[in-house]
Structures are given as C-alpha cells and as structure tokens.
Structure 1
Amino acid sequence: MKKFYAIIFLSFFALSCTKEDKGDITEVEIDLTACFTVSTDTLVIGESLQLTNCSKDAVIFSYDFGNNEISNQESPSVTYEEGGSYTITLVVYDDQKHSKTISKTIFVETPVESYYLFPEIPLGYNALPLEMGIDPLNGNIFYLEKTEDLVNLTVPKFYYKELGTNLIPSSNYIADQQFNTENAYVNFLGNGNKNIHFSRTLPELYGSQEITLNNNWALTSTLSSATKYLYGYLKEGVNFIFFGTQKDNGTYKAVIEKRNANGDAFDVQFKTIGSNNALLADMIKTTNGYIAFGATFDKNIILPFITNYSPVLVFFDTNFAITKTVELSNSVLGTHITEANHLNGAYHLIQLSNGNLATYGNGELNITDSDGNFIKTHYFNVNNKTQAIISLGDSFIISTGDGYLRKFDPTGTEIKKLNYKGNFTPEILEINNNLFIVAGYRTKDTILNIAELPVVKIFYGAVDKDLNLISVESIFN
C-alpha cells in the first residue's frame, strides 16, 4: 500500500510542475507557411518551368533550383540545360525573420532526338526503311530504303544504303517500285552477287520481284512473279532455304524452295496446311528440325479479298516433312486481314532460352511454349506492319507503330517500354552488346515556306538491352 500512495503523490507532483511551467512560457503563433506549385513535374531540356508562389505571410523568398541557380523572385521560372532529377527548395521568411521550408522534385528529360543521327533527306521526300542487316562480306550495316518524291510525284525508288565507320550512308539505286511494297530483304549469294526481293501486291494480286546485282551493282537478272511471294530465307550450308507462298492449281500453298549458292532453285516443295490458302512468313531452325510462322486464309475475287485469316505455327522434321500444325486460335487478326496488301509486311518468329516461341506480325504478338501451346497474346495495331523483334535470350524487345520499343519477359509480360518516337523499324541489330536501329518516323516538311507536307524520314538510334537510350557513336567505339 505504501508504494501505491507514493506513485499517486509523484504523479500529482509532476502534473503540478507541468502546469506551472506552461504558465511561465509565452507562446507565439506563427501563420507563416511555405508553398509553391510547378507548371509540370516532367519537362525536357530547354523547356521553361514556371513556379507559382502560394506561401502565406511570406515577405522574402529564396529558391534553390537544384542546378546551382537561385532566385529571390516570388514566382520565378527556370530552364534546365541537362537531364536528370532536380530538387527545388523554397525558404520563405515573414517580417519577424521566422522561416519555413518546402521542397519539390521534378524530372528533366533529355529529348530522344539528341541521341540520334539523321541522314540527309531532301525536303518533300518520303524515306522508308524496309530491311536492315549486316553485309557478310564487309561487315557493314546496310538497309533498304524506299524513296518517294511527294512534290513531283515521280515513281518511288529502292536504294541500298550502307553505313561505313563514319555512319554516313553510301547509296546505290536498285529499282523502281512496281506495286505496293512493305517488305524486302537481301540474299547475299555465294558468288558475291546480291539477290534482293521486294513484295509486290495489290488488293487482288499477290507476288514478288527479284533483282540480282553483281559486285559492281550491275543488273544481272530480274524476275517478277504474280503467283509467288517469298517472305525470307535461311542459310543452309552453301545453299539457301526460301519460304513463302505460291499459287498451285488456283490455290496459294505454303512453299519451300531450295536454292544453291548462286541462287538457282533446284527443289520446290508445296506444303498443304489445312484446307485453305496458306503462307510461311518466317522460319527458324531447331535441334529437331524447323518451325515456321505462317497463316491460312481464304482468297476471294471480290471484296473482302482475304477472309478467315488464321496465324499458325508449322513444325517440320529435318527433311521438311510437316509433323504438326498449331493454329494460334487466340488471334484477333481474322477480322482485320481483308486483302493481299495486309499480308505484305514484316513477320517474325523467335525462340527464347526457355524454349518459348514468340511470333509477331500485323501488329499482333503471340507467345507460346515450345510445342505451340498458348501463353499470351497482345494486339497493337494492324495499320503499320514494318515492325521488329529481337531475342535477348531470356527476354525480347519489339517495336510498335505507336512510337515505342517494348521489352517482355519470357511469358510475354511487358516489363519496360521506351517512347523512342520511331514508327517504322524493320529490324533491330545487336552490336557490341547494345541494340542499333534504322527507323522511319512521321514528321512534316515545310515546302516553299507555305505548306506543311506529312512525310516519313529516317534516323539511326541505339539503346542498351534495358531500353536506355545511348548515343549511336558509342556502340561502335
């Protein structure tokens, strides 16, 4: 009981002391507050950032912009010359010299254009990249360009552009465009010639054009077809395995064409895939044979010229006998593909380190396991078919027509994207453990200082494998 009374006494004493102490202190209420707003929390280099003061009872203002600049204006503006995160701090004082402080962080983006190189293209000209790769003879980067004079309306022309160590393109004329073209590629023959293929389509016509040039860029042969469209090839020893579609007894069938080192066909194999017309658009070699990405469809003589389009995976043994066909039944393209021109573009098939397969064409990305069983699908846009994909082993990156590079994990889950502002990217090359692109982008040319003409121009760009922009020159050093 004695302990209990002692505790009560001490508690009463403490409360009494507190009241007496408070009575001796003169409290001063301060209404001063520090406050400011920013016109944006994300801006680009050179863009003006406006700060607006909203402090209360402040008479003196001291801003530190985080870039070694200060200001005593009430509502100043600032422009940043370097990208990065900046913390802006405001200290305000009232007329009694009391102070309050507030900070905000903003982010300054470096314009993506500052990382790129822009080859010179005349005003009023479209310049669209259709293919990109590395010349196996000299190791230089090349790309195929379709150039179109939109002012004088001349026939579009194809050029072979090659980048030397100074990244200034050399240019060689190849051919005039005959029909609509959104796909092209180069086959480097064993005799040193270049065999260049262009798509050749109208809504009701489906074919291709081949141009063969020697080392001096002299034309050695031209072959145009209204019944055959070869989408690409694989190198097989000294020979080549071409794949595509070809008309046979009124039906377009998937076709495999074997050619020798000089580009001469010595074996043509038609493949029946389902009961419809069919095509093989890309192919990879595996330990057990081959896998192709293709499609089946119905071909009509009136609109819609293409119906019942269905993308497929076709599995072959080492002798190109079909062992299995898997329809990618989750596709949405059946309602989008309505003419042969919609089959005129870039198609891609890759295999990741875990065995999963990714197909990409007509704006649709499909991910399956190694047997073709569905995992995930994404549909981006069918209106821009010149797009790329590259495998990074345990992940992959694609370009999309809305101006993004997108990175995915092996299950097809997007893990990062970069607004690189390109709209047409046929391929992505890995160079010195980084990625290089030749991309077309939409812009406008001012003609005679009076008219703005929508055009497509080209830039060279580079990123690391985590989609961070890097300077183009840095990957070649």
Structure 2
Amino acid sequence: MLIFVVSCTKDEKADGMDPELETNLTACFSVSKDTLTLGESLQLINCSKDAVIYSYDFGNNETSNQESPSITFKEGGNFTITLVTYDDQRHSETSSHTVFVETPVDSYYHFPDISHGLNGLPIGIGINPHNGNIYYLEKSEDLVGLTLPKFYYKELNNNFIPTTNYIADMQFNSGHGFINFLGNGNKNIHFSRTLPELYGSQEITLKSTWLLMSTVNSATKYLYGTLKEDVNSIFYGTQKDNGIYKAVIEKRNANGDAFDVQFKTIGSNNAMLADMIKTENGYVAFGGTFDKNITTPHITNYSPTLIFFDTNLAVTKTVAYGHTVLGTHITEANHLNGAYHIIQLSNGNLATYGNGELTVSKPDGGLITSHYFSIHNDIQAMISLGDTFVISTGDGYLRKYDPNGTEIGKLKYNGNFIPDLLEINNNLFFVAGYRTTDKIVNLGDLSVVKILYGAVDKDLNLISLESIFN
C-alpha cells in the first residue's frame, strides 16, 4: 500500500490539483473507552468520510493502516492516538484522541499483608520439590522498631495465601538467598552476609518440622547456589584460601554433608562462581575476578567472567568480559551479594546477567552484545524461553530479547526487585518488591519496600494469577 507524505488541509490544495475541486474528506474515530487498564484491548471505530487510506499513530511507537484497528498497550500513562486520512486526490485530514492506560493494581496483582513500617524484600524464589508449591525467601526489616532484620520462608497455596516460617535473624547485609531441599526432608538455607569489607555467608539447616539443627556464619566462604546431581549436589561460590578468595566447588551428599571441596584458580585474582549450568560438554559458570583490598575501595578491578568445565569439573577455558563497565562500579563486598544468572539458549548462545549488566555471547564465550542498566538494584531476574529470554530491570520493566540480545518486547510492571522468574504452565510467575510509602504516626511518610505477586504470558502480557494453575 502506497502511503503519501503530502498533507493538505481543505484550504490548501496539493500541487497538480484542480483548484476548483472541493473535498469532503474528514478524519474521525472514536474509542471503546477513554480509560483502560494495562493489558486491556482498546478498539478504535472509524467514522471518517471519503477516506481511502488510514494512518494511525498510537503514541507508543506502534502504527496501523487498518480502518478500525485495536491496540493493547504494554505501558501505563497517557497516549495520544493520531489518525491521518487521505482521499483519492491526496488530500489529508488529521484527528487525535488521548486515552489513559492505568497500571493495574487489584485486577492483576496480589498484595500480601505487610505491617506498616516493615520492609518486605524477596531475595529468593523457587518450587518446593516435595509438594510442588511456590515458595520465596523474604528479608523483613522493621524501620520503626529497629529490631534485627529477619529471614522468613513463605510458601503459597493455590489461592496465593502464604504460610510463614521464621528462619533466622539477619546478620550484616544480604541481597540473595537459596534453599537446598535435602532428601531427608530437612532444609539447608544459604544467605549472603556482607559488609563493605566482609565477604561471607550465613548457612542455616532446619528440620522438616522447622526446628533448628545448625547455623554456620562464615567470613571466608560464600556459596551462591547449587546444582542437583542425582542424590548429590554441586555447590559453587568463593572461599578464602591462603589469603585469596578462590572460586570453589563443593560436593555434598543427600544429607547435606560435604565430601569434596575443589578450589579453582581463575586468573591471578580473587574469583567467585555466581551461577552455573550443565551443558552438553560439561558445565559453564558465570562469575568474576577482582582485587580484594584491606582499605577502601575494598573491591577493585572487577571483571565478569565465563568459566568452562569438562564433565569432571576441571576448568577448560575462561573468558573475561573486557567490555564491562563494572570495573569502576563495584567497590565493596556488598555489591557482590545480589542475584546472578547464566542461561543457554536453543541456538547455543549464552546470556549472563548480574550487577545490572546483561551480556550475550556465542557458545564459546565470544561477545555478541552487552547492555548496562544500573548497579544500584542488583536483585533482578533472568529466565530462558528457549530461543528467547526475559529479564527484569531495576527501572520497573520486564524485557524480552531474541537469541542475539536484541530487545523485542517490554512491559512496565508494578515492581522494582525480582530475584527470579518461575515458568509455570507456559506462563511466568514472579514475586516482586516495590517501593511505596507508609504513613507512620509521629514519623510521617516512610519509604518502604512491599511485596506483590504477578504473572505474565511469554509475550509479556499481564494475566490473572488464577491462570497460572489453569
């Protein structure tokens, strides 16, 4: 279809037009509603006269040449829809209409009760392998009573009503946690435990009845996660050895007892393994190297790194990301306690995400592209959808990418922190923290973080939570 760029009003005649010819052309359309919610379809009804070509601009970088199109907005806000019509003499007329897209609250999201003055921050999420329920780890902070922050385990039923179990008081700073569900029903739970100069972890083992079995607080070891290998588990992280933090792999049996600890030399610096996946040829981990200093800045020369292993967990290759912008941004151990992710896509490409930096590389680690968002919010998610993937960013977006790291969709959602995304029944579920304000007597407005539950389909359209289990 040929679209003319010449625009004429009724008083201005296009070049070559007979000045005696008059036009009855109008541009006219109505909308099914002036206010709609995010993800809701808006229908446009055309009422133009003598038009042969219709050109709509929806105000969100999308267009249409249909006579009466429909549109679904993926962001909230005011949008001015503009229609330009053309007749067969190349005259044009223009009409505009503004609609407001509300960011949904009750219609899509569920908000668990959190008392006034409390922060509720999700720092881990998963599926309980014993009963199939969704769970998440919550860091709760009392900003009014100023008691010790606490860790809680919260498990959801099919009505998204959580049951809550206390785990432990929080020591120092923490932005990440994970659970190893043991074969005997016990739970082995790990949290980051950092200060600007302290790089360690807090490990709690609880019986199936939630009675405390043991607590280990370390200033020299931090395990970031685990992979199941039959009845055993492979833990990965960092551990101090002869004054150097080395990448470490720790094998544990079904009862959680360590029987093999392997230190890995990654370059000449301190190093850590922050996430790890199994591949056809062995394993590949996403981590980093850095200098650890006694005085400020306590962390310098940070470099994200890919580490390749064979099937026996011997290092076969390392690839340092020289393109990174993080070398000057990461200056303390607190910057290393957030969420890190590595995934492999169906074409073999690898995508890594941590400290606000997304990198897509070839299967051998060769750089394809990189995007930097922000280090100031490092509790963010990534999930592979096969030939595409989705991440969350600290500016409140879910973003979808093709295998080469080109953004192909995004959704402005209601949160700011997502530790991970769960794929359930071909949809994506998340527990997110969002910034808001509590009004506290004698204190006024207090900035806090609360929690919401939400779900989207794989095209990043918001869906009802109930459809997760349908």
When the two structures are superposed, what TM-score results if normalisation uses the length of structure 2?
0.81
1:430 Cα shift? 0.5
- Once the two structures are superposed, residues 359-398 of structure 1 have per-residue CA deviations (whole angstroms, 9 ceiling, x without a partner) of 0000000000100000000000001110000000000000
Q: Which residue of 1 aligns with 2:117?
A: 124
Aligned partner of 2:354: which letter? G
- Name 1:339's counterpart in structure 2: 332
Q: Does 1:157 align with 2:139?
A: no
**Structure having the larger proportion of residues in helix:** 1
- Contact 2:397–2:413 (8 Å) recurs in 1: yes
Query: Structure 1 residue 106: deviation in Å?
Result: 3.9
- Asked if the contact 1:401/1:423 (under 8 Å) is kept, the reply is yes
CA distance in 2 between partners of 1:355 and 1:409 (Å): 13
CA distance in 1, matches of 2:208, 2:406: 45
Aligned to 1:430: 423
1:72 counterpart residue number: none
Q: In the TM superposition, what is the alpha-carbon distance from 1:235 to its structure 2 partner? A: 0.2
2:188 and 2:123 mapped to 1: Cα distance? 15
Equivalent positions of 1:365-404 (< 5 A) are: 365-404=358-397
Q: Secondary structure at the match of 2:467?
A: helix
Of 352, 356, 363, the match for 1:359 = 352
Q: Identify the structure with bigger relative contact order (alpha carbons < 8 Å, sequence gap 6+).
A: 2
Residue pair 1:112, 1:469 contacting (<8 A) in 2 also? no
Task: Name 1:301's counterpart in structure 2.
Answer: 294
- Residues 123 and 445, structure 1, Cα contact 8 Å, conserved in 2: yes
Letter of the 2:177 partner, please give it.
A
Counterpart residue type for residue 374 of structure 1: L
Separation in structure 2 between the aligned mates of residue 255 and residue 87 of structure 1, nearest angstrom: 56
**Residue from 200, 212, 219 that aligns with 1:219:** 212
Give the whole-Å Cα distance in 2 for the aligned partners of 1:224 and 1:317: 32
Residue 420 of structure 1: which of 380, 394, 413 is its match?
Answer: 413
Give distance in 1, aligned partners of 2:249 and 2:26.
Answer: 74
Quick check: 1:380–1:400 contact (8 Å CA) kept in 2?
yes
**For residues 41-440 of structure 1, what are the structure 2 equivalents within 5 Å?**
104-113=96-105, 114-440=107-433
Tell me, in whole angstroms, the C-alpha distance in 2 between the residues paired with 1:378 and 1:200.
28
Cα deviations across residues 327-368 of structure 1 (Å, max 9, x unaligned)?
111111001011111111110000000000000000000000
SS of the residue corresponding to residue 123 of structure 2 reads strand
Deviation, structure 1 residue 474 = 1.8
Matched residue type, 1:225: S
* Residue identity in the other structure for 1:111: T
Shift of 1:123: 0.8
Compute the displacement of 1:143 (Å): 0.2
Percentage identity across paired residues of the two chains? 69
Cα deviation for residue 103 of structure 1 reads 5.0
Instruction: Look up the match of 1:8.
Output: none
Distance 1:351 1:102 in 2: 48
Q: Measured at CA, do residues 42 and 425 of structure 1 come closer, stay the same or move farther in structure 2, by a change above 3 Å?
A: farther
Corresponding residue to 2:455 among 462, 468, 473: 462
Aligned pairs, number: 401
- Contact 2:103–2:414 (8 Å) recurs in 1: no
CA–CA distance in structure 2, aligned partners of residues 410 and 313 of structure 1: 18
> How far apart are the structure 1 equivalents of 2:361 and 2:26?
56
- What is the aligned partner in structure 2 of residue 476 from structure 1? 469
Corresponding residue for 1:62? none
Structure 1 letter corresponding to 2:369: K
| Contact 1:277–1:296 under 8 Å retained in 2 | yes
Secondary structure class of the residue paired with 1:342: helix
Deviation track 1:258-316 (CA, whole Å, cap 9, x = no partner) reads 00000000000000000000000010001110001011100100001011110110000
8 Å contact 1:207–1:227 — kept in the other structure? yes
CA contact (8 A) 1:346 1:426 kept: yes
TM-score, with structure 1 as normaliser: 0.80
Larger Rg: 1
After TM superposition, the structure 1 = structure 2 runs for residues 24-39 of structure 1, keeping only pairs within 5 Å, are none
Query: What secondary structure, in the 3-state scheme, does the structure 2 residue paired with 1:112 have?
Result: coil
Number of the residue aligned with 2:14: none
CA shift at 1:407, angstroms? 0.4
Task: Check the 8 A contact 2:37/2:104 in 1, yes or no.
Answer: no
Q: Retained in 2: the 8 A contact 1:360–1:389?
A: yes
Q: Deviations over 1:387-420 (max 9, x none)?
A: 0000000000000011000000000011111100
CA distance in 2, matches of 1:311, 1:106: 45
| Structure 1: segments with no counterpart, 5+ residues | 1-26, 47-82, 90-100
Q: Following superposition, which runs of at least 4 residues in structure 1 exceed 3 angstroms of deviation?
A: 32-36, 41-46, 83-89, 101-108
Distance 1:415 1:34, change over 3 A: closer
| Offset of residue 450 of structure 1 | 6.6
Residue 227 and residue 42 in structure 1: after superposition, are their counterparts in 2 closer, same or farther (change >3 A)?
farther
**What RMSD, in angstroms, separates the aligned Cα atoms of the two structures?**
2.8
Q: Contact 2:274–2:341 at 8 Å: present in 1 too?
A: yes
